[in-house]
Homo-oligomer: A and B are copies of this chain.
Amino acid sequence: MSSSPSFADVQGAARRLDGVAVRTPLLENARVNARLGGRLFVKAECLQRTGSFKLRGAYNFLSLMSEAERARGVVGWSSGNHAQGLAEAARLMGVKATIVMPADAPAMKIANTRASGAEVVLHDRVKESREEIGMGIAQRTGATVVPPYDHPWILTGQGTAGLELVEQATALGVTLDAVAAPCSGGGLATGIALAVKGLSPSTSVHAGEPAGFDDLARSLAAGTKQKNDKLSGSICDALLAPTPGDVTFPLARALLGPGLVVSDDEVLDAMEVAFREFKIVVEPGGAVALAAALTGKLPVKDRAVAVVCSGGNVDHATYARALARAAA
């Protein structure tokens, strides 16, 4: 693979993921369409193995490693979806995985990562650097570090969701005016942009971010990488990367339209619509693109628009907050 990832690399990833990743459905709802005055399609990537798109990039990465590298294992750090996706990709390929996770991560996420057979190394989020611990493991064992987003193999793997999405819309006779996906470090959004632009150059592609963590939206507007002021404080726990990636940002500049920024309340409302109308469980970070479409920040009126709901790993208490936003 060349250093600048291409549409052909996404197609290659799709061949590797065939029969492994779930071809998640593209859902539509007549009532939502009537309310928005257009056609809104939801790519239900929360139904992916491990409950998020992260399996796609991790599995593609592991597939492109050499046999000798795979024999020495992989290491990653994550408190959330990348941990589970990487652990499951490693299990599917028979590769040993070590995942560095904060000791105060939700018990379920740690248990899920272990259930995929990964060794979980817990660290103190305040006193210890997970990068240092992970790099130390890699140096000691010869394991390969699998990054969460800023790598061509990762982002082209995530882009396979975009290939499917356009193929599924085309099968319905629909040419999409716009596509939007949630964005943290930009792996999913840029991978999807590569796929969508390759199949449908006239379709605009947008990244959604939570308010206060809109580093990509501001970076796109400024033309240079911007940082978030905060490292925590959004309900969207999966979307808190501090700045765009070195690999993802040039792609974002070349391929993405203006960023979409939504509030926590708009995210909770979108989760409730996903529950009530689409019958899918979407986590806060997975709902930002849907929130942009429902609030009109990404216009749907007289258009055909697809949004990726990228994950569904949400705890009961947060979900109850979303349900409480509307009367049943």
Give me the interface of A with B, judged by CB distance under 8 Å.
22-25, 27, 30-31, 34, 44, 46-47, 49, 51, 88, 91, 106, 108, 112, 115-116, 275-276, 278-282, 312, 315-320, 323-324, 326-328
Contact = CB atoms under 8 A, between A and B. Distances in A.
A88 B30 contact: yes
A266 B261 CA distance: 41
Task: Select the residue from A25, A31, A276, A326 with max chain B CB neighbours within 10 A.
Answer: A276
Contacts of A23: 25
Nearest to A171: B19
Contacts of A323: 316, 319-320
Contacts of A328: 106, 108, 315-318
Contacts of A279: 46-47, 51, 280-282, 312
Contacts of A276: 108
Nearest to A26: B22
B25 A22 contact: yes
Given A31-B112, A315-B328, A316-B324, 5 more contacts: A23-B25, A25-B47, A30-B49, A51-B279, A319-B323
